[in-house]
Amino acid sequence: MNREAVEVPGWLNVSRETLAQLFDFCDLVEKWNPVINLVSRAGIADLWQRHVIDSAQLFFKSPEGGAAWCDLGSGGGFPGIVLAILAKELRPDVTFTLVESDSRKAVFLAESARVLSLPVVVLSHRIENLAPQNADVLTARALAPLSLLCGFAHRHLKPSGIAIFPKGAAATHEIDDARKTWSFKCESSQSRTDADAAVLTIRDIHRA
């Protein structure tokens, strides 16, 4: 990735050191991708905007004070590693647990955390077999329908916790479908990277 050519949005107000870490992470993804297939070919071609910036926006939806963050289905580190890089500067009290059942991707996540000196624990488990994480904030990107994500959030969030889920054009349909099984408060805001997408912040999750 040509670091000089990337566009940094004004809302991503971070230090040069943090930007450098984001770029370094992109380099790691590009290095490992031919072996593990972390993102698609199209994703590699637009890695910065499509994955890094799209992931970074979730950080600014999180509440102040939550110290335990859990990212489910972390895959190639989007959003988990990106969020941990931002937190290192902006909220250094936050620690991250990244959950990824694919052992090869879990190795990549652990190596990225080591190279970038991030406060990250990687768990290579299936989500449904994972012990409750008692997280303040929970994220998942391109993992599952909202109805299933609400079940994960109900299990792994503190009662006062918040879930942050980016969703595509079908977000409204997913909300309606999830409400058949779950009761929750939901705020929807337009994605900063896709006019047809939304970021859902969800709390107070209970079975309907």
Q: How far apart are CA 20 and CA 145, in angstroms?
A: 34
DSSP state of 10: T
| Residue 205 assigned as binding residue | no
Q: How many helices (H) and strands (E) does the chain have?
A: 8, 7
Q: Tell whether residue 73 is among the known ligand binding residues.
A: yes
* Helix (H) or strand (E) run with residue 198 in it: strand 198-207
Cα(first)–Cα(last) distance of the chain, in Å?
47
Is there a binding annotation on residue 192? Answer: no
* Burial of 46: CB neighbours in 10 Å, binned 0-12, 13-18, 19+: middle
Of 100, 47, 42, 54, nearest to 110 (Cα)? 100
Residue numbers in the known binding site are 73, 78, 127-128, 141
Residue numbers belonging to the annotated binding site for S-adenosyl-L-methionine: 73, 78, 127-128, 141
